[in-house]
Amino acid sequence: MEAVIFHVDLDAFYASVEERDNPEYKDKPVIIGALPGYRGVVSACSYEARRYGVRSAMPVSEAYRRCPDGIYLRPRMERYHELSVQVMEIFSAFSPMVQQISVDEAFLDMSGTRRLFGTPMQAAEKLKSEVRRQTGLTVSIGIAWNKYLAKLASDFRKPDGLYQVVSGEEERFLDQLPLKDLWGLGAKGRQRLEELNIQDIPSLRSYPLGVLKRQLGNGAGEFLWDAVRGKDPGIFSQEPKSRSLSAETTFGRDTADEEGLKATLLDLSHQVMFRMMREGFSGKTVVLKLRFSDFSTTTARTTLNSPVVSAEELYKEAIKLFSKRWSKGREVRLIGVGLANIEPGTAARQGTLFEEPQGRHKRVEEAVVMIRDKHTEDAIVKARLLGSKKQN
């Protein structure tokens, strides 16, 4: 039986949540991140904002120059995670094998579910309808027999898209895509291909593997050789659930923007800690993952004396690792953070006479997780009050 993999991606997730909660924002350029006049970057934006050239990780000063009439908002991470949990629970009703790879996207193994949900396209339509009914949000779904093709297919007809790559038609599908849409191929890689007079995917496929390795390096050569043939190059490997929990982001464009990279690390740290707390795990080993524009990958880890108890603590340790492994100006295509050697339950820190600040952060974050799971507007108000007390 051939595998059936869904890649399900919430459309412009942060901005869509803001539009859901504030209908007056609908069809307007919504830009989330730092506010104009302050240092910082764009975390996310609506499709309307993207038409002005605004994109994630762009300095907010540049976003404001391009879109001065946009609606600029600070992120509401608790709210985004609340809806993310709700959506992931919907996914779990369709498949027992859900691999969440970020706050707004996941892979579902739908193999063997035809009797329950019909053909893959019928199942995808039902899933899209259920997400819209329960949350008011839209998703794009790509269907294929491997994760890489499913990921490309979900991007193919965004927003609110649906596309299936049928076995045997992988190259026909890929040949419809411009070279820039080949996931994992960054700006420097494209520039090198242009120097070799490679303008599209069919011409790239015609190059022998040995030539690609010599011209681009072993990692990049092997990656592109597999990718243009519809083979999974292994970007989205399954994490060992019992041993680690992580979140990572592959940028659409390689970036060397330090503020943007740090902002992404902060977002990922929140994702990991919300999942850790909700699933009842704890861990002492912080792991950072970086993949650079030349496809080389490095990981760094540090093991603490006691379990990490808050997103703030996880971010602090991740930044230390980041400063050791990243040098200014070096472009990054993927960044990830996680906790390894995790265990069920929450291991207590050694007792002290006075409660540590980390302990207070942990209690606040656990309260937010508990409140969020109740799915009520009143609960969100309480969560914000908790956040205000933490700052005070």
Nearest CA to 273 out of 307, 301, 310 is that of 310
Q: One-letter amino acid identity for 353?
A: L
- Report how far residue 254's alpha carbon sits from residue 251's, in angstroms, rounded to the nearest whole number: 6
In the numeric block, the tokens 């302990």 are attached to 359
Q: One-letter amino acid identity for 307?
A: P
The DSSP result for 103-139, as a single string, is TTEEEEE-TT-HHHH-SHHHHHHHHHHHHHHHHS--E
Phi then psi dihedrals of residue 243, to 5 deg: -115, -25
Hey, what are 323's tokens? 């400063």
Hey, what are 176's tokens? 């419809």
Instruction: From the candidates 48, 78, 105, 365, give the one annotated as an active-site residue.
Output: 105
Furthest C-alpha separation in the chain: 69
Nearest CA to 337 out of 387, 274, 294 is that of 274
Question: Does residue 135 contact residue 11 with C-beta atoms inside 8 Å?
Answer: no
Hey, what are 3's tokens? 């595998």
Nearest CA to 293 out of 233, 232, 251 is that of 251
In angstroms, the first-to-last Cα distance of the chain is 58
The DSSP result for 313-338, as a single string, is HHHHHHHHHHHHH--TT--EEEEEEE
* Local structure of 163: helix, strand or coil: strand
Nearest CA to 241 out of 98, 84, 92 is that of 98
Nearest CA to 163 out of 147, 152, 177 is that of 152
DSSP 159: S
Q: One-letter amino acid identity for 200?
A: D
- Report how far residue 97's alpha carbon sits from residue 332's, in angstroms, rounded to the nearest whole number: 30
Active site residue 105: yes
Q: One-letter amino acid identity for 137?
A: L
Which residues does the annotation mark as catalytic? 105
